[in-house]
Amino acid sequence: MAQNRYIDTRGNVTEPASFRQAVVDGLAEGGGLYVAETIPTFTVDEIVALADMPYAQRAATIYKRFDTDFADETIDAIMAGAYGDNFDTPDIAPITSLDENTHILELWHGPTSAFKDMALQCLPRCFAAAASELRAEGKIDNEFLILVATSGDTGKAALEGFRDRDGVKIGVMYPEGGVSDIQFKQMATQAGDNVRVWAVRGNFDDCQTGAKIVFGDEEFNERLANERKVALSSANSINWGRLMPQIVYYVSSYAQLVHDGKVAAGAPIDVCVPTGNFGNILAAWYAKQMGTPIDMLFCASNENRVLTDFINTGTYDITDREFVLTPSPSMDILVSSNLERQLFELTGRNPEAIKEWMRQQKEEKRFQVDADTFAKLRADFASDSADSRECFATIKEVYEKHGYLLDPHSAVAFKVAERLRGQNPVLVASTAHWAKFGENVYRALHDLEPGEPLPDEMAKLTGCELNARIAEATGCGPVPAGLAELDSRPIRFTQVIDGDPEAIEEAAMEFLAE
């Protein structure tokens, strides 16, 4: 087979990129997203056979089938590093079955206890290897600064993934006072010689807008190139290199279900995913295209139900939609960037249609897909939302019935799966350990309202102390070490900066000058 190449969703890339180039570029030239020209397939037997290998080898097998421009040994080494003892279980993404037909895919056994680790333990290793090879081949001559604006989870997972990678530095901005005690300590205590964390005066939107302007500031980018031989890059979920590791766990989990005798080989399952940027559920869709016997994909939303409305009507509309802050913040989203790839695929890869819809989304805040695309969407996807009260009630119910604690994101998915499921077994993607969101888990278990203050006795505890209390009271411990030990780690980063681009650029230059 000829080497797989990467085309883009808007048809602007004239010379398709290699895998390594796509990973290093992130976004394609002209604003589109990279997509593999050929999506490989597996037979059910081949999928089932994956269960005989450790997770790292399953991942390597799938990457090799995508025919990347990495040597096989490089892929093996990347996967061995990405999915080894940095996870707290050799299964990497174990499945807990709550009953015969309800299976929870636990994607939070990595170093930061959130599902972002599944991709961000792998992508940075691919990124550093690709950049180093491209430099050696004379195709690039720069190093990289990864700049991330985060509302919490992504920043920590990116820091942990990129720390101590050669040829890369990473700077993360978060809104000052806008993250939980646990999230703050996770970032402020970050280890590594190539990392920096800034609190930004303002909210998450200010951070993100500031970062976007910096990425687009040509003068600054030239200065970085000339003075520091550094190019900016982002670690966000539009990078194809973040999608691939997510495809792996859907293929792998089907193999596991068959291996464990929970599903007959070839029998269909449905998958339910708590969705924000549409990256996780898109990976499940690709896993289906590759031959995994997945029937329906259930897209779960919280009160920010723009995706649910889209899947139910074919119209994406944010003209009159308020951004709601919920207990599942990683699903609080109005514009889902990976939906672009999904639409590209459902239109039979029609870049003209995508270009027009994306223009409408940007300028008119609304677009409607054609009848054929809508029919294809409905064939693969169903969607519903669960609000904050339902989310809390689900956490409590599942705990009382099964002795199992869901985090708020996973609880939204669990509830939606209950509503949408038919005869098939359902695999519910669980995207965070409950202890990342201990305050809301406490509220849920004690019948407090979303946003209601905790009782004084609890409110005065640190996040770690509160988690320890919850673990003790529920028997759902131990809390993962990375979260449990945060109070004893030294705080390394306390710098607060303004959110305007000049301040961010100055902070970045200072960081690079060290």
**Contact residues: ligand PLP, CB under 6 A:** 114-116, 153, 237, 274-280, 330-331, 409, 431-432
Report the residue number, 75 or 120, with the smaller CB distance to ligand PLP. 120
Instruction: Mention every residue, 6+ apart, whose C-beta is less than 8 A from residue 472.
Output: none
Query: Cβ 242 to ligand PLP, closest distance in Å?
Result: 9
Report the residue number, 21 or 430, with the smaller CB distance to ligand PLP. 430
Query: Cβ 333 to ligand PLP, closest distance in Å?
Result: 7
Report the residue number, 202 or 274, with the smaller CB distance to ligand PLP. 274
Query: Cβ 346 to ligand PLP, closest distance in Å?
Result: 17
CB 508 within 8 Å of CB 213: no
Q: Exposure of 1 by Cβ count < 10 A (0-12 exposed, 13-18 middle, 19+ buried)?
A: exposed
Q: How far apart are CA 232 and CA 221, in angstroms?
A: 7
Report the residue number, 58 or 242, with the smaller CB distance to ligand PLP. 242
Query: Cβ 432 to ligand PLP, closest distance in Å?
Result: 4
Which one, of 31, 16, 6, lies nearest residue 359 by Cα?
Answer: 31
The pairing of beta strand 426-430 with beta strand 269-274? parallel
Query: Cβ 378 to ligand PLP, closest distance in Å?
Result: 19
Query: Cβ 277 to ligand PLP, closest distance in Å?
Result: 3
Catalytic residue (choose from 116, 156, 169, 415): 116
Q: Exposure of 460 by Cβ count < 10 A (0-12 exposed, 13-18 middle, 19+ buried)?
A: exposed
Tokens read off for 20: 């390594």
Q: C-alpha 68: how far from its chain's center? A: 22
Instruction: Give the count of beta carbons closer than 10 Å to the beta carbon of residue 142.
Output: 16
Report the residue number, 109 or 409, with the smaller CB distance to ligand PLP. 409
Tell me the sheet residues that pair with 104. Answer: 96, 428
Tokens read off for 152: 């919490």
Running DSSP on this structure, what letter comes out for residue 224? Answer: I
Tokens read off for 183: 């999230």
The DSSP string of 220-248 is HHHHIIIII-EEEE--STTSHHHHHHHHH
- Would residue 116 show up in a list of annotated catalytic residues for this protein? yes
Q: How far apart are CA 116 and CA 130, in angstroms?
A: 21
Report the residue number, 233 or 237, with the smaller CB distance to ligand PLP. 237
Q: Which residue numbers are catalytic? A: 116
